[in-house]
Structure 1
């Protein structure tokens, strides 16, 4: 039971950090967002696993929209994209050695599946603009962000890994 409480507290912490990085530490345009929200998402995936990381991402998306709505209507497609991103990070990174190659593969998988495919579909539905017009700007942003996200995830994890492993021994009780 103590392990479940730790897991819930950590999930809540990651939700709060993700909301803060998404809403306050990002650059937002109608078609792209440059943000550091991938860091708490990837860390939650490494520590909590794929399902919890997906749930963390989905809840952060919903709460972020409810608390800090910018006037636009809520669209559930982006919540699905958030869940898929967290889940994919978890599948690729959870309980595995975190290497640059593994981080690159995780980021590439998330970028292709959610940013370039799912989110582009959602934006086409919302804006009624041609997919190519939306996709071209997103591809450029994602090509720039791919190495940045890879390096950030790798180095942030290695900076906190020993502290996390010594503090959070609950993974062995699941």
Structure 2
């Protein structure tokens, strides 16, 4: 993909990330439910781990500047960096729909277990001076509900975007969205 297309796509997905995370989300003191995972996963899939990490950090910092929803805490910026990095490492240049689905499941579990339940809970317990076990209790249920929703919706989005991505973003039919005989129909 040419650099101009990468920059334009990154900017578009960054804007969508900020809107989903800051404006279209349900948030309590210890929990946020949003569709911000969609642009995060798409960035990792289409642009790779470096772009995923950079856009994650940019989204967190710009979102804080535009619409802060609490005090700035650098741990959440680290989470955004790690989330983009994980999705990029697992999903970039995935050869088939079957391997994409397997990698998608693994990456979502890694993000939810280590970043959302681990690091985010740690940051919240430090920030709000609450016991880690108290904070994690409600977050476990939310993450159990979110995981299958994210897997199903992102795989459906990937299937839906296959043809437009190949037609408009890729120069040829190779890359992260290419079909092989292993595809799930």
TM-score (norm 2): 0.87
Q: Which runs of at least 4 in structure 1 moved beyond 3 Å after TM superposition?
A: 170-173
Match of 1:7 in 2: 6
Q: Does 1:105 align with 2:103?
A: no
1-structure distance, mates of 2:31, 2:166: 35
Cα RMSD after superposing both structures = 1.7
Match of 2:138 in 1: 137
Q: Once the 2 structures are TM-superposed, how far is the Cα of residue 170 of structure 1 from its aligned partner?
A: 5.6
Q: Once the 2 structures are TM-superposed, how far is the Cα of residue 108 of structure 1 from its aligned partner?
A: 0.5
Match of 1:123 in 2: 124
Match of 1:159 in 2: 160
- Partner secondary structure for residue 2 of structure 2: helix
Residue among 58, 72, 75 paired with 1:74: 72
- The structure carrying a bigger helix percent of its residues is 1
Q: Once the 2 structures are TM-superposed, how far is the Cα of residue 152 of structure 1 from its aligned partner?
A: 0.9
Task: Give CA-to-partner distance per residue, 1:17-69, whole Å, 9 cap, x none.
Answer: 00011112210001110100000100111000011011111101110010011
Aligned pair in 2 of structure 1 residues 98, 24: CA closer, same or farther (>3 Å)?
farther
- Partner secondary structure for residue 26 of structure 2: strand
1-structure distance, mates of 2:156, 2:103: 13
Match of 1:169 in 2: 170
Q: Does 1:95 align with 2:96?
A: no
2-structure distance, mates of 1:5, 1:107: 29
* Residue range with higher mean Cα deviation, 5-14 or 163-172: 163-172
Match of 1:114 in 2: 115
1-structure distance, mates of 2:125, 2:171: 43
Q: Once the 2 structures are TM-superposed, how far is the Cα of residue 130 of structure 1 from its aligned partner?
A: 0.3
Unaligned runs of 5+ in 2: 176-185
TM-score (norm 1): 0.93
1-structure distance, mates of 2:58, 2:71: 17
Q: Once the 2 structures are TM-superposed, how far is the Cα of residue 102 of structure 1 from its aligned partner?
A: 2.3
Q: Once the 2 structures are TM-superposed, how far is the Cα of residue 98 of structure 1 from its aligned partner?
A: 3.9
Unaligned runs of 5+ in 1: none
Q: Does 1:55 align with 2:54?
A: yes
